[in-house]
């Protein structure tokens, strides 16, 4: 598919996920078939200072392309400056977050709070699009409350501002993650605007991806929580869309191999202790469904080093007679 002047080989997008879609996780998602990954959201205001923590969030590997860097912010001038600076880090897309429901972000009028102030949102969108030659995309929810949908109006102002694609997660800000994403809104948006629409929300299985594409006509699908728990979902969806067949889950050995690879990449980027602490939640997700997994997870929640992770997993395999490569 094409977004602005960028060709993307595939239609499976990894969602921006704060605390998760860091370089190591994105590399795994790409290996497993994601067509493009987004960074976690980065503050446009913080780009003024380019502190180490911010720079680290922009960091990506050469083999990660195409990659989207996501920004949030509520000040058009800061957004203009941020997109100019971001260009130096050579992403393929800059995405603007206008859907994040988290209090810390909306309190500063960023994320979903822009769904309540469409004229400010329009200024920010124009400021971003006018200050970079990269495609700028925007990610929104359907409205602040379920009674005040703004996604169609938003789609139109985005298109007018020169935005190259819109991602819609059709829940309101007030809904958080409750209820169900209303995919009929993705279809309405697709019929309303002529730039690409990326559908997002509640894709859990390969069949869900097929259903979203068929029922909405959206140009691509974006996957968040399901990928966080199982990045292999991209391969499963890819095969299902191309060949109509469901491939089995990875085996326990394969899951352990990629869990260890994720841990190594994370520890390389941070350090042994910090990387290990960051890995605990991923390890809990990756070992879900393992026989006797509760005991294993209990131990994994206490590990403090790569050796600790590896010992724990190898002990588990040995006790269960499972052979691994790692």
Ligand X SMILES: Cc1cc2nc3c(=O)[nH]c(=O)nc-3n(C[C@H](O)[C@H](O)[C@H](O)COP(=O)(O)O)c2cc1C
Q: Per CB under 6 A, does 197 bind ligand X? A: no
Looking at residue 179, the DSSP 8-state letter turns out to be S
Under the binding rule (CB under 6 A), the answer on residue 97 touching ligand X is yes
100 binds ligand X (CB under 6 A): yes
Closest separation between CB of residue 102 and ligand X, Å?
Answer: 8
Count of residues in contact with ligand X, rule CB under 6 A: 22
Angstrom distance (rounded) from CA 258 to CA 249: 13
Is residue 34 a contact point for ligand X (CB under 6 A)? no
Residues 225-244 that bind ligand X (CB under 6 A): 225-226
Question: Which listed residue (37, 100, 218, 312) is catalytic?
Answer: 100
CB-based contact 209:237 (threshold 8 Å): yes
Provide the mask over 136-155, with x wherever binding to ligand X is found by CB under 6 A and - wherever it is not. Answer: ---x----------------
Among residues 3, 11, 12, 15, which is the contact residue for ligand X, using CB under 6 A? 15
Instruction: Choose one: 10-18, 25-33, 130-138, 187-195; the region binding ligand X (CB under 6 A).
Output: 10-18
Q: Identify the three-state secondary structure at position 278.
A: helix
Does residue number 20 form part of the binding site for ligand X (CB under 6 A)? Answer: yes
| Interface with ligand X, residue 1, by CB under 6 A | no
Choice from 92, 202, 208, 238 touching ligand X (CB under 6 A): 202
CA angle 240, 241, 244 (to 5 degrees): 50
- Residue 132 · residue 125 · CB < 8 Å: no
Q: Is 136 helix (H, G, I), strand (E, B) or coil?
A: strand
Give bridge partners of residue 14 from the DSSP assignment: 37, 223
| Comparison of 6 and 12: residue with beta carbon closer to ligand X | 12
Pick from 4, 8, 12, 16 the residue near ligand X by CB under 6 A: 16
Interface with ligand X (CB under 6 A), residue from 12, 41, 75, 303: 41
Annotated catalytic residue 100:
yes
Looking at the Cβ atoms of 202 and 238, the one nearer to ligand X is 202
Nearer to ligand X, 209 or 260 (CB): 209
Integer CA distances (angstroms), 58 to 50, 167, 219, in order: 10, 21, 26
C-alpha–C-alpha distance, residues 266 and 269, integer Å? 5
Is residue 70 part of the contact set for ligand X (CB under 6 A)?
yes
Q: Which long-range contacts (CB under 8 A, 24 or more apart) does 108-111 make?
A: 108/74, 109/74, 110/43, 110/72, 110/73, 110/74, 111/41, 111/72
Q: Which is nearer to ligand X, 252 or 279 (CB)?
A: 279
**66 preceded by a cis bond (ω within 30 of 0):** yes
Q: Which is nearer to ligand X, 175 or 310 (CB)?
A: 175
Distance of CA 73 to the CA centre of its chain: 18
Q: Is 59 helix (H, G, I), strand (E, B) or coil?
A: coil
Give least dist CB 212 to ligand X, A.
10
The least CB distance from residue 164 to ligand X, in Å, is 16
Question: How big is the chain by its Cα radius of gyration, in Å?
Answer: 20
SS3 content of the chain, % helix, strand, coil (to 5): 50, 15, 35
Which sequence positions are flagged as catalytic?
100
- Chain residues in the site for ligand X (CB under 6 A): 15-20, 40-41, 70, 97, 99-100, 139, 169, 200-203, 223-226
């Amino acid at each position: 598919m094409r977004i602005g002047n960028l060709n993307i080989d595939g239609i499976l997008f990894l969602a921006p996920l704060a605390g998760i879609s860091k370089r190591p996780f994105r590399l795994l998602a790409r290996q497993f078939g994601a067509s493009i990954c987004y960074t976690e959201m980065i503050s446009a205001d913080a780009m003024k200072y380019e502190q180490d923590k911010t720079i680290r969030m922009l960091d990506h590997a050469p083999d990660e392309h195409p990659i989207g860097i996501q920004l949030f912010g509520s000040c058009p001038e800061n957004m203009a400056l941020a997109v100019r600076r971001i260009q130096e880090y050579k992403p393929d897309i800059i995405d603007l977050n206008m859907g994040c429901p988290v209090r810390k972000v909306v309190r500063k009028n960023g994320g979903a709070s822009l769904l309540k102030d469409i004229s400010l949102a329009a200024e920010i969108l124009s400021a971003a699009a006018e200050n970079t030659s990269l495609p700028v995309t925007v990610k929104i929810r359907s409205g602040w409350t379920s009674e005040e949908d703004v996604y169609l109006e938003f789609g139109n102002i985005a298109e007018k501002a020169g935005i190259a694609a819109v991602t819609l997660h059709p829940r309101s800000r007030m809904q958080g993650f409750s209820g169900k994403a209303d995919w009929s809104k993705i279809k309405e948006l697709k019929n309303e605007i002529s730039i690409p629409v990326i559908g997002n929300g509640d894709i859990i299985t390969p069949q869900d991806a097929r259903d979203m594409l068929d029922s909405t006509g959206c140009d691509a699908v974006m996957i968040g929580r399901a990928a966080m728990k199982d990045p292999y979902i991209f391969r499963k969806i890819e095969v299902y869309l191309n060949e109509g067949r469901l491939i089995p889950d990875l085996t326990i050995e394969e899951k352990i191999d990629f869990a260890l690879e994720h841990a190594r990449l994370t520890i390389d980027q941070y350090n042994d202790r910090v990387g290990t602490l960051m890995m605990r939640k991923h390890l809990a997700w990756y070992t879900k469904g393992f026989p006797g997994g509760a005991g294993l997870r209990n131990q994994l929640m206490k590990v403090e080093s790569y050796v600790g992770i590896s010992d724990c997993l190898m002990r588990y395999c040995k006790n269960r007679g499972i052979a691994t490569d790692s």
